[in-house]
Amino acid sequence: MSTQDGMAGDELGREGGRCEGGAEAKRRVLVVDDEAGIRELLTQFLRLKGYDVSAAATPDEALHCIESERVDVVLSDVQLAKSDGLALVAEICRRRPELPVVVLTGVILDEDVMRSDGALKIAGYVSKTEPLSQVLRALERALL
Amino acid sequence: MPTHTPRYLLPGIVTIALVACCSIALSLRALRRAEHASAWVNHTHAIVFESSSLVSSLRAGDAALKAYAAGGDPGEAGAARIAFAEVAEQFEVLRALQAATGERAPALEAATGVLQNHLASARRLLAAPDNDPGSAHTRLSGVVTMAVTSQDISRHIGKLTEFHKARLQEHDREAYRSSLAVRWAVSTGAIVTLVLLAALYGLLRGYLAERVRVQETLERANRELDARVAERTRELAAANQNLQIENLERQWACEAVQHQLRYSQLVINALGDPVCMITRDRNIVRANPAACRWTGYSEKGLIGAPLHRILRVERPTGGADTLPRDPVQDALRAGRDLVNEPGIVMAEDGSQRRVIYSLFPVRDADKVVGAVVTMHQV
């Protein structure tokens, strides 16, 4: 697990990560993806947009992170190596029911599959084929 | 901003120092002269004083001797002795004082012989017996004689006194002139010094004011430059952020394409029927795993091979042979589909299986660049 404060986000523009009425407390996003490239890309992007970002490669790291850190929203891939991302989402919902989860779907059909599963309280879906701005929009909607 | 010392500062300070040094030197010189003149004046006054005292003592001695000669009073004789003794002593002092000046005094030299005779006469008269009538007559005549010599002595001593008084007056005039000159020189030096100091103060004040003005201008320019640098830095930071975001968007788009390709590949690979992608020249450029399984070729062995190596189209009569015109070639040229046409898949090991195949042209900007060929076992 890698947890880093967003220095670039501090120095550069702050957009979506700033709380209303205050510049100090930035929203913290937990990015969960087994692909290091995707994870790093999302981390950099969200920091540039003003978020604090924690990153996790596995469900265990993600669960440890939400237990030990302040996390405002989770952005998780549903296709994690060696495990099912939906199971992680279910566990997060069980441990932190108030914590919104946005899922990244690598395969187009995943969205339909997840929409049919009413047991999971998923705050948003974004396909990896969509632009990054959609990821940001989904996070902002989840944090409303 | 000028950092060097003004050009006029050193010459100005040197000039002021020179004027001040000259004034001080003149003052010290005048002071030394005054000290020397004071000793001379005291000495000369001592000569004058001794001269006056000598004349007084001489007159007192003459008066006492005259009274003694007239009355024979021994008291008067004693007084005369004392007075003449003082005269002798004062005359020696006067001579010593005059000798100390290093100058000759003709009046004093002229008085010396007369005074010695006068004193000798006095001693003789006082030495004569008191009760002798002849002595009384001698004393009276002696007193008369001595009155003449006494006037000579007084005249000579008076000349000496006048000589020294004249010198004192001359010295007073000279000292007055000298003091005026020194006062003028010192005053002039002080005024010049003050004027130079004032001028230097004015110049330095102007110089410092100029330095302050230049310093303020420089600080203002630095502040403006800092503000411009900060603004430019903010603009660059914003531009850099935008570039980073664009770069990340581009990377994300590449990842999305990769996902799409992978997904498409997964779909194609999942098909159980052979699927090949061919060029307009009917060469295979892609083949799915089912095509490899059916034909026994590896994917590498199929890539670049002509389609007819694995697929022979069948005559309508049912005999497997090449037709005079290749329907695949015709469909590619015409850009039309072939659906469920009969054919034979030829494996690497020579085995065959009857299939129906379909061909769907692939267009890029309305231009046929190839086709997808699918095969299904009959």
Q: How much is the pTM?
A: 0.52
User: Of A69-78, A117-126, B21-30, B299-308, where does mean pLDDT reach its minimum?
Assistant: A117-126
Dump pLDDT digits (tens) for A71-89: 999 999 887 776 777 888 8
Q: Look at B249 and A13 and tell me if their CB atoms are within 8 Å.
A: no
**A13 touches B at CB < 8 Å:** yes
Average pLDDT over residues B115-142: 80
The secondary element (H helix, E strand) that includes residue B134 is helix B133-270
Per-residue model confidence (pLDDT) at position A85 = 77
pLDDT band at B103 (very low <50, low <70, confident <90, very high): confident
- Residue A2's pLDDT band (cuts 50, 70, 90): very low
- CB-CB contact of A54 with A3 (8 Å): yes
| Residue A10 predicted with pLDDT over 90 | no
Kind plus residue range of the DSSP H or E element containing B343: strand B338-346
Per-residue model confidence (pLDDT) at position A11: 38
The partner residues of B377 in beta bridges, in order of sequence, read B355
* Position B109 pLDDT exceeds 80: yes
Judging contacts by C-beta atoms under 8 Å, the chain B residues touching residue A131 are 249, 252-253
The residue type found at A133 is S
Amino acid letter at A120? Answer: L
Please say if the pLDDT value at position B20 is more than 50: yes
Confidence tier at B289 by pLDDT (50, 70, 90): very high
Assigned token pair, B123: 């001693």
CB B375 within 8 A of CB B345: yes
Q: What is the reported pLDDT for B19? A: 87
DSSP-derived secondary structure for B214-248 = HHHHHHHHHHHHHHHHHHHHHHHHHHHHHHHHHHH
Q: How far apart are CA B255 and CA A45, in angstroms?
A: 14
The total of other beta-carbon atoms located within 10 Å of residue B99's CB is 12
| Nearest alpha carbon to residue A63 among A74, A51, A48 | A74
Contacts of B304 (CB under 8 A, 6+ apart): B283, B284, B285
Query: How confident is the prediction for chain B on average, in pLDDT?
Result: 88
CB pairs under 8 A between A and B: 46
Partner residue opposite A41 with nearest CB, options B240, B251, B260: B251
- For B187-197, the pLDDT digits (tens) are 888 898 899 89
What's the CA gap between B91 and B88, in Å, rounded?
Answer: 5
The answer to whether the Cβ–Cβ distance between A131 and B255 falls below 8 Å is no
When mean pLDDT is compared over B6-20, B134-148, B334-348, the highest value belongs to: B334-348
Average pLDDT over residues B226-235: 96
Confidence of residue B128 (pLDDT cuts 50, 70, 90): confident
Q: Which two tokens stand for residue B211?
A: 């330095």
Distance from CA of A133 to the nearest CA of B (A): 8
* pLDDT in the model for residue A12: 37
Kindly tell me if the per-residue pLDDT of B161 is higher than 70.
yes
Report the C-alpha gap between B185 and B23 in whole angstroms: 7
Work out the number of other CB atoms within 10 angstroms of the CB of residue A101.
Answer: 23
SS3 of chain A: the string is CEEECCHHHHHCCCCCCECCCCCCCECEEEEECCCHHHHHHHHHHHHHCCCEEEEECCHHHHHHHHHHCCCCEEEEECEECCEEHHHHHHHHHHHCCCCCEEEEECCCHHHHHHHCCCCCCCCEEEECCCCHHHHHHHHHHHHC
If we measure between CA atoms, which residue out of B369, B76, B31 comes closest to residue B186? B31
